[in-house]
Amino acid sequence: MAMIHKFREADLTETFPELNTSPNILVMTDEAHRSQYKLLGANLDKGIPNAAKIGYTGTPIDKTERVFGDYIDKYTMRQSIEDGVTLEIVYEGRTHNAEVPDQAGMDTAFADVFSDYNLQQRLEILGYGSRDAYLEAKPTIEAKAKDMIAHYLTHVYPNGYKGQVVATSREAAVRYKEHIDVALAAAVANLEKSNPRKLDLKQLKAMKTDVIISRDNNDLPRLKAFSDSSKHEASIKSFKMAFGTEEEGLPATWAS
């Protein structure tokens, strides 16, 4: 048994060598959707060029079938759900109004700023980063955060569960925390006036949120504040604990 990283060239003085040309070698690869299609995979093929290969993966990609051949067996998500191994995921669609309030004014400003560019260049600029810009936009995140909190307090929190948000970027993750905190505080203030479901307001007021993101050397302070891996461990431990379970220094965490 070996890791694919055994086939790197870091410790060699020449390109990866041919190791064994026997056709009686069987390579069984776990997580076959990763690390098999670039340099490491090429070195493996070069080292044992005639080996038969079988790949195992729960998330095959286009290259998987091209490299490993036709499927021998499939165990689908539906089969897993029917066997009780996997819980069925329930999706609930949401929409958000992303219309520009002054489209004509925006078009005029764009034409003025990029007047030196030709039509093709302008079209490329319009398409560049537009999806990420929308997903990271503060009005977008603010609206989504309010909807998340309303849904959480209605359908999730009453059952004793916490919540987790997966963001499109590290910047978006930090902004979600900011707006979720504001939305949660506003929701608690409204519940103090009317609380028909008898939610535990003391627990809601004590609820904390945190952000789990990776670190980059050039991070701005607002991102750097949430990239400390030692703090991540405490937050993740807190997140896994049930409401009402406390350890010193570990508040009940809602979102990460």
Q: What distance in Å separates the CA atoms of residue 250 and residue 237, rounded to the nearest whole number?
A: 8
This prediction's pTM: 0.64
168 contacts: CB under 8 Å, gap ≥ 6: 132, 135, 136
- Residue 248, pLDDT > 50, answer no
- Among 60-64, 94-98, 156-160, 179-183, the range scoring the smallest mean pLDDT is 94-98
- Residue 14, pLDDT > 60, answer yes
Q: What distance in Å separates the CA atoms of residue 146 and residue 36, rounded to the nearest whole number?
A: 42
Exposure on the CB side of residue 203, measured as CA atoms within 13 A: 17
- Among 20-24, 124-128, 245-249, 250-254, the range scoring the smallest mean pLDDT is 250-254
Mind listing the pLDDT tens digit for each residue in 60-108? 888 888 888 889 999 888 999 999 998 888 878 777 776 667 777 767 8
Residue closest to 5 by CA, chosen among 55, 46, 50, 40: 40
* Average pLDDT over every residue of 118-131: 73
- Using 50, 70 and 90 to split pLDDT, how confident is the model at 256? very low
Mind listing the pLDDT tens digit for each residue in 134-143? 788 888 999 9
